[in-house]
Amino acid sequence: MSDSAKKDSAEKAIALIRSQAKGRDAHSLAGSLMQGDRAALAQAITCIESGPDELAAEIVRLCLPASGRSVRMGITGVPGVGKSTFIDTFGMALLKSGKKVAVLAVDPSSPISKGSILGDKTRMDRLAADSRAFIRPSPSSDTLGGVARKTRETILLCEAAGYDTILVETVGVGQSETAVHAMTDFFVLLMLAGAGDQLQGIKRGIMEMCDAMIITKADGTNIAHATRAKAEYASALHLFPAREDGWFPPVLTTSALEQKGIDEVVELLSQYTTWMQERSLFNERRKKQNLSWLHESLRSAIIDRFYHNSEVMEKVKKVEVDVSSGLLSPFQAATEILQLYSQRVS
Ligand SMILES: Nc1nc2c(ncn2[C@@H]2O[C@H](COP(=O)(O)OP(=O)(O)OP(=O)(O)O)[C@@H](O)[C@H]2O)c(=O)[nH]1
Ligand SMILES: [Mg+2]
């Protein structure tokens, strides 16, 4: 399908869902989705993604008490590392173990029009076809902050709809890993064997952030490489300072194609969750995440208001001239602008 055809069909689908949602109020949508109605869940998520904002806010408010009872797992790794294939196989293993799985994505670089991750459900064939799983492509937005907020709220709705394992996929090439780390309980970095981390563009900070590392494609002639990479990464992880919570990230090898090592990841997820819960660290991490979400929301709301104040923007334009010609110091200019802003909002 061409890009424009893709965009057309995505827009048509959104328009349809919006028109279906239109006639419904927050109570009816939230009520249905909490009964496990997938169409209502899809409609509610569409409201979060593209409005109406008041309806979305009300739905989130109504669903909040029923949310939170899940394990949120973040999955990152460079393009081609095998994220989608892993999620398909791993998701099926989770379903087999009795879990209800929702798969979301954070991909600010490719809005729907460009074919976002998970837009190609081809590598998640089995999961996409299973009625026990729910898959939703990345919301489109200009900013990472926008995508992250929408995904965070979508997680809450999925939980309220009864999904107990939420998988959030993101491409490991920018700031989006940090955003996904900040919204998940268990953050996993997928790595290729034999490519070297520099080649894979994985920053040290991301390795330091992960709760587990998985070497993918450990099959065929790649098994020996994968085993070696596992030992190398395990010792590399030892070089990082010990974590405050006391958890040490293990390294596993998997083959999603041959379904090897997948049950071990299911087991690890459950062990990790128990380990964290026993030490009250699970809720501790979520509390911290909620607080940073609060401050992030405040920051972005304040910035938004400031930059949408026409009088302030006029003043900014004026002082830009003086600042660039050296007549006014940038600091002095900023102080003057902020003074005007505080007069206008008080
Ligand atoms: N041999 C082998 N190949 C695999 C395995 N998992 C994925 N692949 C192949 O690796 C390629 C990339 O897999 P994807 O699952 O699309 O990787 P991805 O990380 O989701 O890629 P992006 O969505 O582009 O970021 C495909 O050709 C897969 O068939 C595996 O376990 N073994
Ligand atoms: Mg993919």
Phi/psi at 298 (nearest 5 deg)?
-60, -50
Q: Give the number of other CB atoms < 10 A from CB of residue 244.
A: 7
Residues with Cβ within 8 Å of residue 287, at least 6 apart in sequence: none
| Nearest atom within ligand 1 for CA of residue 87 | 15
Read off the DSSP letter of residue 194.
T
Confidence of residue 51 (pLDDT cuts 50, 70, 90): confident
Preceding amide of 52 cis, omega within 30: yes
Range of weakest confidence among 29-43, 97-111, 207-221, 275-289: 97-111
Distinct helix (H) and strand (E) counts, the chain? 14, 7
Give distance in angstroms: CA of 146 to centre of ligand 2: 21
Q: Are residues 242 and 341 in the same domain?
A: no
Q: Are 269 and 186 in contact (CB under 8 A)?
A: yes
Confidence of residue 212 (pLDDT cuts 50, 70, 90): very high
Q: Are residues 26 and 132 in the same domain?
A: no
The candidate with the shortest Cα–Cα distance to 292, out of 156, 189, 148, is 148
In a domain, 256, yes or no: yes
Q: Check which CATH number belongs to the domain holding 301 and give it.
A: 1.10.287
In a domain, 44, yes or no: yes
**Average pLDDT score over residue span 56-77:** 95
Q: What is the pLDDT of residues 226-238, one digit of tens each?
A: 999 999 899 889 8
The number of distinct structural domains making up the chain is 3
**Average pLDDT score over residue span 70-93:** 94
In a domain, 284, yes or no: no
Q: Give the number of other CB atoms < 10 A from CB of residue 302.
A: 12
In a domain, 140, yes or no: yes
Domain that holds residue 326: 292-345
Q: Are residues 126 and 253 in the same domain?
A: yes
Range of weakest confidence among 34-48, 147-161, 182-196: 182-196
In a domain, 287, yes or no: no
pLDDT of 66 above 90: yes
Q: Is 123 in the pocket of ligand 1 (CB under 6 A)?
A: yes
Looking at residue 202, what is its pLDDT?
Answer: 65
CA distances from 342 to 117, 128, 319, 337, 338 (A): 42, 51, 17, 9, 6
Residue identified by tokens 């002639």 is: 221
Give how far the C-alpha of residue 298 lies from the chain's centroid of Cα atoms, to the nearest Å.
20
The candidate with the shortest Cα–Cα distance to 139, out of 163, 160, 170, 164, is 170
Q: Is 201 in the pocket of ligand 1 (CB under 6 A)?
A: no
Name the domain boundary from 66, 83, 116.
66
- Vertex 329, ends 324 and 334: CA angle to 5°? 95
Specify the residue with its C-alpha closest to ligand 1, atom 32: 217
pTM tops 0.85: yes
In a domain, 106, yes or no: yes
Q: Are 164 and 54 in contact (CB under 8 A)?
A: no
Q: What is the pLDDT of residues 6-22, one digit of tens each?
A: 566 656 665 655 555 55
> Which secondary structure element, helix H or strand E, spans residue 62, and what is its range?
helix 53-63
Looking at residue 112, what is its pLDDT?
Answer: 46
Range of weakest confidence among 88-102, 107-121, 126-140, 325-339: 107-121
Pocket test residue of 85, 88, 260 for ligand 1, highest count of atoms within 8 A of CB:
85
Cα 268 to Cα 49: distance, rounded to the nearest angstrom: 33
Q: Check which CATH number belongs to the domain holding 104 and give it.
A: 3.40.50.300
Name the domain boundary from 279, 310, 335.
279
| CB burial of residue 296 (10 Å; 0-12, 13-18, 19+) | middle
Q: Are residues 101 and 238 in the same domain?
A: yes
Give distance in angstroms: CA of 151 to centre of ligand 2: 17
Q: Are residues 200 and 252 in the same domain?
A: yes
Q: Is 80 in the pocket of ligand 1 (CB under 6 A)?
A: yes
Give distance in angstroms: CA of 77 to centre of ligand 2: 10
Which is more confidently placed, 95 or 205? 95
Provide the 3-class DSSP secondary structure of residue 187: strand
pLDDT of 158 above 60: yes
pLDDT of 60 above 90: yes
Q: Are residues 249 and 180 in the same domain?
A: yes
Q: Give the number of other CB atoms < 10 A from CB of residue 131.
A: 6
Q: Are residues 163 and 55 in the same domain?
A: no
pLDDT of 5 above 80: no
Q: Are residues 40 and 158 in the same domain?
A: no
Q: Are residues 329 and 234 in the same domain?
A: no
Instruction: Work out the mean pLDDT of the chain and round it to a whole number.
Output: 88
Name the domain boundary from 46, 66, 86.
66
In a domain, 37, yes or no: yes
Give distance in angstroms: CA of 72 to centre of ligand 1: 22
Q: Are 251 and 237 in contact (CB under 8 A)?
A: yes
Specify the residue with its C-alpha closest to ligand 1, atom 1: 217
In a domain, 286, yes or no: no
Specify the residue with its C-alpha closest to ligand 1, atom 17: 82
Cα 137 to Cα 117: distance, rounded to the nearest angstrom: 6
Q: Are residues 122 and 28 in the same domain?
A: no
Count the alpha carbons within 13 Å of 242 in the hemisphere toward its beta carbon: 3
CA distances from 228 to 83, 194, 222, 267 (A): 21, 9, 10, 23
The candidate with the shortest Cα–Cα distance to 202, out of 242, 227, 235, 170, is 170
> Which secondary structure element, helix H or strand E, spans residue 63, and what is its range?
helix 53-63
Q: Are residues 164 and 218 in the same domain?
A: yes
Q: Are 202 and 81 in contact (CB under 8 A)?
A: no
Q: Is 171 in the pocket of ligand 1 (CB under 6 A)?
A: yes
Q: Are residues 24 and 75 in the same domain?
A: no
CA distances from 259 to 82, 86, 95, 302 (A): 13, 9, 14, 48
Which is more confidently placed, 205 or 333? 333
Range of weakest confidence among 49-53, 161-165, 336-340: 49-53
Give distance in angstroms: CA of 216 to centre of ligand 1: 9
Query: Which token pair is 341?
Result: 């802003």
Cα 51 to Cα 178: distance, rounded to the nearest angstrom: 26
What percentage of the chain carries pLDDT values higher than 90?
Answer: 67
Q: Is 257 in the pocket of ligand 1 (CB under 6 A)?
A: yes
Looking at residue 114, what is its pLDDT?
Answer: 47
